[in-house]
Structure 1
């Protein structure tokens, strides 16, 4: 079995400690790889390499068009290696191969988008109020960027960070989740092939409590970008204050899916299933809160339960599998604890709430699609992110009540509204305190549109032009064409 190694200062290396971690397939706990397990020492080496490459190298001064060409080459190599990457992603996460293939297409598109945007952000000339002068605003790279990515979309989330950072001229240290490193390692191989200079892109494998903590606390790191849980995000934010780092945080959501009585019923039911049970609910934008107008509530729930009960769980490599396992035993334990809390809070368990009994699924970390009805906004299962195949259902009577319920959490990542009354849908969309709102749809995203949240869902944006701007600093340059003495002091 080939060991997955780290990439530091242009070389593939083992951890200084020689420690390794076993990577398993969550479908059956089969060992699929062995990976180097780095710590603070490896992280410091990577930071040192990135710092030197930024301060003494040519990457930041390389013409933006040339940087864009390298990012474009990465996109092309991802497309050429789509199938291998997709298979690695399914081994890593347990998701279906069909979903992994779609992820790779999206990832290539992200690199393609930022490759094209690299030389389009040259700054602007602004009018100076002073005579005989000119004034311009330029954008420059932030510097050394630490990037910490999650396990649910290992390479997609890495792409959202790597592509704009490189396009803008930064140097990077990437720390993928220690349990899902395979596709990130492979893409670093492709980045090396594409011609990313030595020290510009570095990869450190290992747990967050030492690798991630070092990235956040090290004063040679200028920016920290993190996607993951809210409590970890808060710790990173506090630690990053040591040198007032730039921070970009995406910390999940408790996303409302609002269905009015005049919505296309069958489509709304179908999309409600996809919103919460896609990838076993392990999606930051999952529609885990379903708000249904009271006049159609019972009919809607009945149909939803019937459809959800037929979801096919299984091996991500099987064509008929619709949903794979949860990522780990620890995460399934967390989901199960939330389900028990829901029962104790008085929510009605309409479906699921247990592990599947199918003998073929006993070796994996599976959990049945679960639906709670009779939920209220004061319940913990309504307020907190479960990050699993668990749906809570609430009733509402008016659009104002729907908005009030939808906004009643600490999160503000995404939400959706379903109605054939576009004026009503637009009213609700305008009132929702969320970074993305879908009308008569759920989940679509693309590289051109910014992604991020309000409130405690995070700080900053990924994707779109704002996603590139996160990796730049704004500088104002003023030139006096006819300098002369002021003689203020006699």
Structure 2
């Protein structure tokens, strides 16, 4: 990592500047040591960056750039990301502790998001409205203005790019605030954008504490949309702040995804699928398949087999390609996860495997947690209802399809869900009954730039991906042209027309 020159200042209007907030340690979670010391912003820096972004928007240098040229710049940006991929995935692994193989598999797809949205920009068409009378009515779209994206620590580049790509494609100016725990790849991303020809002030990156910088961005009157990925309670506060001025929001919040396993699924297939859904990224994802709802005829053998799979997972240095499970993000996160496991045991849950910290030789100060399987769980226990955000899954038995769906839907969250069955009709049928923004059948975690991603209930509002996200970074405008040869003279004679 030493050969990658990473700016740790703020990027405002094309310049790298020092922040006026406290300098923040960026910690390597696999060692507990300081990876870098980054600048952070204060309220005055937020005011400056928003004003700079607004000035860039008002200038039209990007917002009114011909769409074919804007699309070409975004393709160059995608090319630049691909060229720097090795630096990006190694830096991200060091910063958030996700195993190198996982990180590489995820962020090698980043250029797709920019290419897809650059293509949507050229494919988008206005609509003609069939208004009666001598009128030609049509719609057009215009960018919002300044957009802020508040990304999270678990997938810093992917989460930022899912919204950054459509926000830029549609002509907005962006202020990106990464998590203060994982700001480094965002700073490198801004360098790549600058080199690709995205004009100064169009993409700005500022680091800082959420209650200071994030709150100031959410409350700023010039910010026309806020995108946030994180916990439900901060998301609720952001929604209130944005609503005060009728700004748009996309909020991807907490989850407790139910994964339904029917007894026609081979037990080894079910166990491997459960491990992938629950332990990938050390379980630090809102979409983690952490609530395993298993048909009773499969249940006991499933629990036993899943425990063996969990115990076989290689925990270690995330920079080692052989590692399958890295650390959680911080000592605080590790202690919180272990506390949630203890609370579950106190409520009657049984630890089948795991349940404690993991020790990695040479990385004794890292924040590692054993992959944990809890059985004898009922859906009213806290461990089954609240997000743990760690490598912990709970197993709940069911008898029939109706009971499985009832348990799955009995949750305040509704981000994702999954169904495992060899009966394809049942797969479709159950998917149609699940209250969730996304359902996978015989898989988990899959996403694509063309597919809308987001939740219901307390899992948030809005969508990332697809036309749904692309258009939500714009306002729709109706244009009506009178085509009659005579003039409008409502008061000059007998009024026989209609007003609406």
Using the size of structure 2 for normalisation, the TM-score is 0.95
The answer as to whether partners of 1:9 and 1:50 remain within 8 angstroms in 2 is yes
What is the match of residue 121 of structure 1? 124
Give the length in aligned residue pairs.
488
- The unaligned stretches of length 5 or more in structure 2 are 495-500
Q: Deviation per CA, 1:335-393, whole angstroms, max 9, x where unpaired? A: 11211110111111111111124543421000111111111111111111111001000
Q: CA separation in 2, counterparts of 1:65 and 1:29?
A: 47
The answer as to whether partners of 1:121 and 1:139 remain within 8 angstroms in 2 is no
Q: CA separation in 1, counterparts of 2:145 and 2:347?
A: 48
What is the match of residue 241 of structure 2? 239
Structure 1 residues 302 and 14, CA, compared in 2 at 3 Å: closer, same or farther?
Answer: same
How many Å apart are 1:56 and its aligned residue?
A: 2.9
The answer as to whether partners of 2:39 and 2:207 remain within 8 angstroms in 1 is yes
How many Å apart are 1:242 and its aligned residue?
A: 2.4
The answer as to whether partners of 2:142 and 2:476 remain within 8 angstroms in 1 is yes
Q: CA separation in 1, counterparts of 2:275 and 2:318?
A: 18
Greater displacement, 475-484 / 140-149: 475-484
What is the match of residue 54 of structure 1? 57
Is residue 401 of structure 2 the alignment partner of residue 399 of structure 1? yes
The answer as to whether partners of 1:374 and 1:393 remain within 8 angstroms in 2 is yes
What is the match of residue 200 of structure 2? 198
What SS does the aligned partner of 1:283 have?
coil
Q: CA separation in 2, counterparts of 1:264 and 1:300?
A: 9
How many Å apart are 1:118 and its aligned residue?
A: 1.4
Q: CA separation in 2, counterparts of 1:139 and 1:37?
A: 35
Is residue 451 of structure 2 the alignment partner of residue 461 of structure 1? no
What is the match of residue 16 of structure 2? 12
How many Å apart are 1:30 and its aligned residue?
A: 2.5
The answer as to whether partners of 1:122 and 1:139 remain within 8 angstroms in 2 is no
Q: CA separation in 1, counterparts of 2:76 and 2:246?
A: 34
Structure 1 residues 350 and 39, CA, compared in 2 at 3 Å: closer, same or farther?
Answer: same
Q: CA separation in 1, counterparts of 2:416 and 2:492?
A: 56
What is the match of residue 67 of structure 1? 70
- Aligned alpha-carbon RMSD (Å): 1.4
Q: How does 1:339-358 map to 2 (within 5 A)?
A: 339-358=341-360
Using the size of structure 1 for normalisation, the TM-score is 0.97
Q: CA separation in 2, counterparts of 1:418 and 1:93?
A: 31
Q: How does 1:188-337 map to 2 (within 5 A)?
A: 188-337=190-339
How many Å apart are 1:488 and its aligned residue?
A: 8.0
Is residue 360 of structure 2 the alignment partner of residue 366 of structure 1? no
The answer as to whether partners of 2:252 and 2:461 remain within 8 angstroms in 1 is yes
Q: CA separation in 2, counterparts of 1:60 and 1:188?
A: 18
Structure 1 residues 385 and 488, CA, compared in 2 at 3 Å: closer, same or farther?
Answer: farther
The answer as to whether partners of 1:141 and 1:473 remain within 8 angstroms in 2 is yes
- The unaligned stretches of length 5 or more in structure 1 are none
Find 1:93's aligned residue among 96, 99, 115.
96
How many Å apart are 1:489 and its aligned residue?
A: 8.9
